[in-house]
Amino acid sequence: MKEKILLYSRLFRVSQWIKNLVIFTSIIFAGKFFDPDLFLKTFYGFLIFCLLSSTSYILNDVIDYPYDKKHRLKKNRPIASGEISLPQATFLVFIMTLISLIVSLFFSLPFFFLSLFFLLLHFFYSLYLKKFPVIDIFTISLSFVLRTYAGVIITGYHIPVWMMLTIFFLSLFMASVKRHAELSAQGKEARLSLYQYNEHFLDFVTYTSATTAIISYSFYTYFEKLPPVETIFGKHFSLFFPQLEARKLMMITIPLVVYGITRYAQLLYEKYEGERPEKLITSDIPLIITILVWGLIIISLIYIF
């Protein structure tokens, strides 16, 4: 039983569900993270997107079966290794697509259409779009934007454009890093789009997207106002620091974002570990500490000070 649970968790790529946490962006930066009703709604949306993501992962593994068998890491995936047969996997894709869309329809009509678009985007990516350079990594970035916008549909709270741009360019950075790692570790045989990539071009995309993500985040911290939340020390803060705008304190998190991006790039260029971004984020101690400190400061500025 335990072996079967582990097998299906690998098939569903549970470790990659961390990507869907961006759906909470809306309520976090709107100052509503601790609102029980909105949190519960967002959490349900998170679960639906986990199901949608796993559906797309299984379809991708079915389509990539011949390539995954030759890959040094992907050959151990349940479908590539033969632990799950192709007919079983195909049936799962059908059932999970049906369930996820029906559940999203009960959630709300706009959420259903967004879920459908997200699923179609991933299906077209697996079948067609991933074969084309640049388009493949931009599609990955768009999928993160859709996840983030799902939180907006659920809660009705707007996400500032600079934050949305930060998410887009940060995901573009991670996607280009992943392609660079695949090219360095496996060569052009790892996927079709890599035949039209080279390391210099991927370096350019990596540098550009990283820089733009940092600039977008910096603009967010400077221009966007903090939500009108009645914080614990808000009145005392205004009393002792009347000339200091609380929103400007967000700027102290910029060095953490710069370090996090730099650390991620370091792990790529020194250890070639960019093929599995979810592993980096959950296993590298400096990166984990950076994310936790950043999150603690953000929560403190929005909900405490």
For residues 293 and 237, state if they share a domain: yes
Same domain, 54 and 138: yes
User: Do 126 and 231 belong together in one domain?
Assistant: no
Looking up residue 34, the CATH number of its domain turns out to be 1.10.357.140
Tell me the Ramachandran region of residue 197: left when phi exceeds 0, alpha when psi lies from -120 to 50, beta otherwise: beta
Determine contact, residues 128/63, Cβ cutoff 8 Å: no
Residue at a domain's end among 159, 178, 197: 159
CA dihedral 249→255→256→262, nearest 10 degrees, is 160
Question: Within this chain, do residues 233 and 118 fall inside the same structural domain, yes or no?
Answer: no
User: Domain tally for the chain?
Assistant: 2
DSSP state of 211: H
Domain boundary among the residues 128, 143, 159 is at 159
pLDDT at 2: 74
Write out the chain's pLDDT in tens, 305 residues.
Answer: 777 888 888 889 988 899 999 999 999 988 888 889 999 999 999 999 999 999 999 998 888 887 777 767 777 888 888 888 888 889 999 999 999 999 999 888 999 999 999 999 999 998 888 888 888 889 999 999 999 999 999 998 988 899 999 999 999 998 888 877 776 666 555 555 566 677 788 888 899 999 999 999 999 998 877 766 665 555 555 555 444 555 578 889 999 999 999 988 888 776 555 556 666 677 788 989 999 999 999 988 888 76
pLDDT at residue 243, rounded to an integer: 46
Distance (Å, whole) CA 110 – CA 160:
20
Nearest to residue 124, comparing CAs of 113, 135, 134, 111?
Answer: 135
Residue 86 shares a structural domain with residue 216? no
Distance separating alpha carbons of residues 22 and 287, to the nearest angstrom: 17
Domain membership of residue 99 as a residue range: 1-159
Q: Are residues 182 and 150 in the same domain?
A: no
Domain end call among 159, 175, 201: 159
Distance between CA atoms of residues 159 and 126, nearest Å: 29
- For the chain, helix, strand, coil in percent to 5 are 80, 0, 20
Same domain, 100 and 167: no
Cα 1 from Cα 143, distance rounded (Å): 34
**Shared-domain flag, residues 179 and 108:** no
- CA pair distance 296, 58, nearest whole angstrom: 35
Burial class (CB in 10 A: 0-12, 13-18, 19+), 69: middle
Three-state SS annotation for 72-114 = CCHHHCCCCCCCCCHHHHHHHHHHHHHHHHHHHHHHCHHHHHH
Are the C-beta atoms of 143 and 118 separated by less than 8 Å?
yes
Both 59 and 119 in one domain: the answer is: yes
What is the reported pTM? 0.86
117 and 209, same domain (yes or no): no
Same domain? 187 vs 102: no
Extract the tokens encoding 215. Answer: 């600039």
Tell me: do 52 and 85 sit in the same domain: yes
Angle between helices 2-11 and 36-63 (to 10 degrees): 80
